[in-house]
Structure 1
Amino acid sequence: MTPEAALNPSRRAIRREQRRQAWAIHGGPVGFGVALLGVALARLPLPSRRLRERLYRTAFGKKYPPGLNEAEMDRPLAEYPTLNALFTRGVRPECRPIPAGTPQFLSPCDGTVQDVGRVEKGRILTLKRIEYTLESLLPGTDTAAFEGGHFAVVFLSPIDCHRVFAPQDGALHEATHVPGARLLVHPPFQRPEFPVYTLNERVIFRFTTPLGPCVMAMVAGWGVGNVTLPAAPDFRPRARRVTATAWSPPLPVRRGEWVATFELGSTVVVVVPPADGVTCAVSPNDKVRYGEPLFTYPG
Structure 2
Amino acid sequence: MNISRQLQRLALNEDLNFLLTNRVPRAALTRFMGWFSRIRNPWVRDASMAVWRAFTELDLSEAKKTSFHSLHDCFVRELKPGVRPIDARADVMVSPCDAIVGACGRIGDDPTAQVFQAKGFPYPLTDLLGPDARALEMIDALRGGSYVTLRLTSSMYHHFHAPDSLTLEHVTFHCGDTWNVNPIALKRIEHLFCKNERAALYLRQDDGTPLLLVPVAAILVASMRLRAVDVALNAQYRGPHELPCNARYGKGQEMGWFEHGSTILVFTPPGFHLADSVDAGHRIRMGEPLLKRSPA
Does TM, scored on the shorter chain, surpass 0.5? Answer: yes
Distance 1:193 1:288, change over 3 A: closer
Q: What is the 5 A alignment of 1:1-299?
A: 24-25=19-20, 38-47=33-42, 52=45, 55-56=48-49, 58-64=50-56, 67-76=57-66, 79-121=67-109, 122-139=113-130, 140=132, 141=135, 142=137, 143-191=139-187, 193-210=189-206, 212-234=209-231, 243-247=241-245, 250-275=246-271, 278-281=273-276, 282-298=278-294
Change (3 A) 1:215 1:36: closer
Amino acid at match of 1:197: F
Q: 1:90 to 1:120 in 2, by over 3 A?
A: same
Distance across 2 between alignment mates of 1:239 and 1:298: 40
Three-state SS of the structure 2 residue aligned to 1:40 is helix
**Mapped partners of 2:256, 2:71: distance in 1:** 18
Shift of 1:39: 4.1
Q: Aligned with 1:124: secondary structure?
A: strand
Structure 2 length as normaliser, TM-score? 0.80
AA aligned to 1:96 is R
Distance (whole Å) between structure 2 residues aligned to residue 159 and residue 116 of structure 1: 23
Residues 225-275 of structure 1: per-residue CA shift (max 9 Å, x gap): 32211233257677579711112xx21111111111122221110001111
For 1:136, give the aligned amino acid: D
Report if the CA contact (8 A) 1:172-1:206 is conserved: yes
Q: What CA distance in whole angstroms lies between the structure 2 residues aligned with 1:274 and 1:227?
A: 29
User: Residues of 1 paired with 2:274 and 2:119: CA distance?
Assistant: 24
Using the alignment, how far apart are the partners of 1:34 and 1:192 within structure 2? Answer: 21
Identical residues among aligned pairs (%): 23
Tell me if the contact between 1:179 and 1:240 (Cα under 8 Å) persists in the aligned partners: no
In the superposition, relative to structure 1, how do residues 23 and 45 fare at CA in structure 2: closer, same or farther (>3 Å)? farther
**Counterparts of 1:181 and 1:21, CA distance in 2:** 21
Code of the aligned partner of 1:198: C
- Tell me if the contact between 2:177 and 2:196 (Cα under 8 Å) persists in the aligned partners: yes
5+ residue gaps, structure 2:
1-14
Instruction: Structure 1: state its 5+ residue gaps.
Output: 1-19
Q: Is the 8 A contact 2:30 2:219 kept in 1?
A: no
How far is 1:93 from its partner?
Answer: 2.6
SS at 1:221's partner residue?
coil
Q: Within 2, Cα distance between the matches of 1:183 and 1:28? A: 9
Query: 2:3 maps to what in 1?
Result: none
C-alpha displacement of 1:223: 1.7
Please report how far the alpha carbon of residue 59 of structure 1 lies from its aligned counterpart in structure 2 after TM superposition.
2.2
**Shift in CA distance, 271/23, structure 1 to aligned 2, threshold 3 Å:** closer
Q: How many residues align?
A: 269
Paired residues of 1:178 and 1:241 also in contact (CA < 8 A):
no
Output the amino acid matched with 1:145: A
- With over 3 angstroms needed to count, the CA separation of the structure-2 counterparts of 1:194 and 1:106, relative to structure 1, is same
Between the aligned partners of 1:22 and 1:28, the Cα distance in structure 2 is 10
The CA distance in 2 between the partners of 1:38 and 1:181, in whole Å, is 15
Whole-angstrom CA distance in 2 between matches of 1:60 and 1:208: 38
TM-score norm. by structure 1 comes to 0.80
